Amino acid sequence: MATERDYSKLDRVLLQADAALRTLLPFSGQPQRVSPALLHPDVPLREDDTRHVTGLMRINHTGEVCAQALYQGQALTARLPEVRSAMEHAAEEEIDHLAWCEQRIRELGGRPSLLNPLFYGLSFGVGAAAGLISDRISLGFVAATEDQVCQHLDEHLAQLPPEDEKSRAILEQMRIDEEQHSTAALEAGGLRFPAPVKFGMTLLSKVMTKATYRI
């Protein structure tokens, strides 16, 4: 089995390609944890509620696609082995979220966003660029991104129908994990981004959410 120092640049590119396929192909990601939704009964929702929850879960699924791409891009260009390892570990945990969201979307009779390949490519490029600049910037970008995700999750939790315990359980566990990722990135030396940068990230995230709600 190859160690950290045994991987060539070509090896890493091939690993990234494999990660992209596992992220974008339906049901390719294998979660390490059982979905929290399985602990709750499947309660029928009204048609308009079903449509709205499907849109929300589609947004969250695309967010996880972006997170995978971001972490993989950063891992490819990270300078320090420990930073690269942390990025790869975080990406593994995000696979759980990706699989949970996709499963819930299918249960609701929907499908993931058709724009996922586009957002994956853009996020991978941003992650790789951040890693090239510095590990501190890269970790700071993780923290800022996870903070944005937590805000979206809070908004979505407030919009869920009270009877949809399945979706609520998924989003609540995701929020716990994302907050931990943000804290870990800052503790590892990540830069705290200034308010104007976070505001710009918020505007970009709004574009993503509006586009993937229906498409």
Q: What angle do CA 170, 171, 173 make, to 5 degrees?
A: 70
Question: Is 146 annotated to bind ligand?
Answer: yes
By C-alpha distance, which of 12, 195, 8, 183 is closest to 88? 12
* Pairwise pLDDT comparison (10 vs 183), residue with the higher score: 183
Task: Tell me the per-residue pLDDT of 88-106, one tens digit each, with 9 for 90 and over.
Answer: 666 677 788 888 999 999 9
Distances (CA, A) of 131 to 64, 85, 138, 144: 19, 13, 5, 15
Q: Per the annotation, does 97 bind a ligand? A: yes
- Tens digits of per-residue pLDDT, 44-73? 889 999 999 999 999 989 888 888 888 777
Domain 44-213 CATH assignment equals 1.20.1260.10? yes
* Spans of all domains in the chain: 44-213
Give the residue among 171, 144, 129, 123 at the shortest CA–CA distance from 19: 123
161-204 confidence digits (pLDDT tens)? 999 999 999 999 988 888 887 887 777 777 777 766 666 767 67
Is residue 146 within 8 A of residue 63, CB to CB? The reply is: no
| Ligand-binding site membership of 178 (annotated) | yes
- Residue 112's SS3 state is coil
Count of CB atoms situated within 10 Å of the CB of 157: 15
Q: Which residue has the higher pLDDT, 7 or 127?
A: 127
Q: Is 93 annotated as a binding residue?
A: no
Residue 209 near residue 164, CB atoms below 8 Å: no
**Which residues have CB under 8 Å from 209's CB, separation 6+?**
59, 152
pTM of the model: 0.79
Q: Is 4 annotated as a binding residue?
A: no
